[in-house]
Amino acid sequence: MVLNKGTLFDPTLVTDLINKVTGKSSIARLSAQNPIPFNGEKVFTFTMDSEIDVIAESGKKTHGGVSLAPQTMVPIKVEYGARISDEFMYASQEEKINILQAFNDGFAKKVARGIDLMAFHGVNPRQGTASTVIGSNNFDSKVTQKVEAPKGIADANGAIESAVEVLTGVDADVTGIAINPSFRSALAKQKDQQGNALFPELKWGATPDTINGLPVDVNKTVSDMSTENDRAIVGDFANGFKWGYAKEVPLEVIQFGDPDNSGLDLKGYNQVYIRAELYLGWGILDATKFARVTEAAE
């Protein structure tokens, strides 16, 4: 079988791709995920302005009040391509499947890292600079509640407690926390008054799924490409943030031309180009439900 433009990833490979993304992405591990149509969708968030009302028999009912804030989740197209030898075109069917599975594995890792970098910091992952396509739809732009933590191990636990306190003050639930590896190390070195480790589950570089019962994910993407050197993001990932992907994942094997604009013709170098595209969308439904721990300026 020769793959041509418009061929889609096999559904099994798509499922495998997203499972791998969920395993490597802080966003995917801590947040709800739903399929997104290509033209996007609106997520409606209701804010009830009052408390429930007790009504006596034959009593009068009053207006409680509600605020409706729609959040549009528009999928963004991301792609990854690579040149390989044109022997791919003549390989057996079994060998082609093995090559595509290997490509799928690599693509999943890049997508997992990419969705974090885009949603956390609003950057184009390849360029490492702010993306006009993403705009302000990212944590660094929308989450203004911040706690500054001194560089090093000085009271990392206190910084998290302060962030939780900020969220408690606005009636936000804390369902998860994403931290970078250096902040994980700082927490691992925290001691109680008797000199015992506050978080023994973090010893020797361990990265548990929970700390004190709170879901946690350790990932370099929390701080990578962040202009404010984020160290942790705390908040209601379960209800205040959603992400998703369009199920159709186009896969293309290009045999001619210069699809990556490298100046090297494929036929001239006995190569073909494999390109995969994925449509991802996300939305911060309520930025007040999150707080960031950033590194204090020296």
- Which DSSP category does 297 fall into? P
**Crossing angle of helices 93-121 and 11-24, rounded to 10°:** 40
Q: Which helix (H) or strand (E) holds 245?
A: strand 241-245
- Which DSSP category does 296 fall into? P
| 6 part of a folded domain | no
pLDDT truncated to tens, each residue of the chain (298 aa)? Answer: 344 445 667 777 777 887 788 778 999 999 977 766 656 565 555 555 667 667 766 666 676 665 655 666 778 889 999 898 888 888 887 788 788 888 888 888 999 999 999 999 999 999 999 999 999 999 999 999 999 887 766 789 999 999 999 999 888 999 999 999 999 999 999 988 888 988 999 988 888 999 999 999 999 999 999 988 899 999 999 989 989 887 777 888 888 999 999 999 999 999 999 888 888 889 898 899 999 999 887 6
| 52 part of a folded domain | no
pLDDT at 69: 59
Strand-strand pairing, 214-218 and 176-179: parallel
What is the strand order of the sheet 290-295 is part of?
146-149, 290-295, 230-235, 176-179, 214-218, 210-211
CATH code for position 94: 3.90.1690
By C-alpha distance, which of 177, 294, 184 is closest to 235?
A: 177
| 2 part of a folded domain | no
What is the distance between the alpha carbons of residues 153 and 191, in angstroms, rounded to a whole number? 11
3-state DSSP call for residue 111? helix
What is the distance between the alpha carbons of residues 121 and 206, in angstroms, rounded to a whole number? 26
3-state DSSP call for residue 160? helix
Residues paired with residue 48 on neighbouring β-strands, in sequence order = 66
The whole domain housing 193 covers 11-44+67-295
pLDDT at 29: 92
What is the distance between the alpha carbons of residues 81 and 13, in angstroms, rounded to a whole number? 17
| Structure-token match 């947040």, residue found | 31
pLDDT at 176: 96
| 18 part of a folded domain | yes
| 162 part of a folded domain | yes
| 49 part of a folded domain | no
| 173 part of a folded domain | yes
What is the distance between the alpha carbons of residues 254 and 42, in angstroms, rounded to a whole number? 35
- Which DSSP category does 256 fall into? S
What is the distance between the alpha carbons of residues 159 and 151, in angstroms, rounded to a whole number? 11
Tell me the one-letter amino acid at 60: K
Report the domain count for the chain. Answer: 1
What is the distance between the alpha carbons of residues 90 and 86, in angstroms, rounded to a whole number? 8
| 25 part of a folded domain | yes
Q: What residues contact residue 42 under an 8 Å CB cut-off, 6+ apart? A: 70, 71, 72, 73
